[in-house]
């Protein structure tokens, strides 16, 4: 089994999402001791945002400059790493109602026509099938328990759509929300998240 472990929180040791992704990966390793883990810390090493120099993988045009070749190489390395993974564990904190820009930059690199999806006469088709994605979703406030909160949430909803677009239907969320609402609320959120980790369906080798 190949596991891709991704963190995107900018808060380092204080990050709840980093704590949860580590717990998820540890649980996977306990069930599959021979699993190989690749780690990607997007807060430390995020790809640049899309630009005219990094659109080569989308247009199919050959790189004309050294910068374009470097950008294409980054996109190729990230999509190859993603496609090689059987399980992708993603730490996704809630920043300004959505995911960190670093995580969005990574998604923009791996959402590649012809690699992770393609357009057909009947519409788009995901090509990154057969994977399991586990998202550690963390939020300072409460958003899942009210219509207003759900309307403001563009974190889990976006990730479900983008991974689904790439053909991944097995997307699981381990959620800890209310972590900024005091020690008691944070402790309860972590307890709930731990129960979600324990309830995750086993991953076939």
Annotated binding site: 9, 15-17, 138-141
Feature table: binding site for FMN: 9, 15-17, 138-141
What are residue 83's phi and psi, to 5 degrees?
A: -70, -25
Closest CA to 40 of 94, 1, 3, 93: 3
- Say if residue 66 is exposed, middle or buried (CB neighbours under 10 Å; 0-12, 13-18, 19+): exposed
Helices (H) and strands (E) in the chain, counts: 7, 7
Distances (CA, A) of 106 to 78, 112, 121: 8, 11, 28
Longest alpha-carbon distance in the chain: 56
- Cβ atoms of 103 and 90 within 8 Å: the answer is yes
What are residue 110's phi and psi, to 5 degrees?
A: -90, -15
């Amino acid at each position: 089994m190949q596991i891709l472990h991704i963190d995107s929180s900018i808060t380092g040791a204080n990050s709840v999402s980093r704590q949860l992704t580590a717990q998820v990966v540890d649980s996977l390793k306990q069930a599959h001791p021979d699993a190989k883990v690749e780690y990607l810390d997007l807060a430390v090493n995020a790809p640049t945002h899309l630009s005219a120099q990094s659109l080569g993988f989308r247009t199919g045009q050959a790189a004309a400059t050294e910068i374009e070749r470097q950008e294409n190489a980054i996109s190729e390395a990230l999509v190859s790493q993603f496609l090689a993974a059987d399980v992708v564990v993603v730490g996704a904190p809630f920043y300004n109602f959505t995911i960190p820009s670093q995580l969005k930059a990574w998604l923009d690199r791996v959402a590649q026509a012809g690699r992770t999806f393609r357009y057909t006469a009947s519409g788009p088709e995901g090509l990154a099938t057969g994977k399991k994605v586990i998202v550690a979703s963390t939020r300072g406030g409460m958003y899942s328990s009210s219509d207003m909160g759900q309307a403001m949430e563009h974190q889990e909803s976006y990730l479900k759509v983008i991974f689904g677009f790439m053909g991944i239907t097995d997307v699981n969320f381990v959620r800890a929300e209310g972590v900024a609402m005091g020690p008691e609320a944070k402790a309860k959120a972590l307890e709930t998240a731990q129960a979600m980790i324990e309830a995750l369906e086993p991953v076939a080798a």
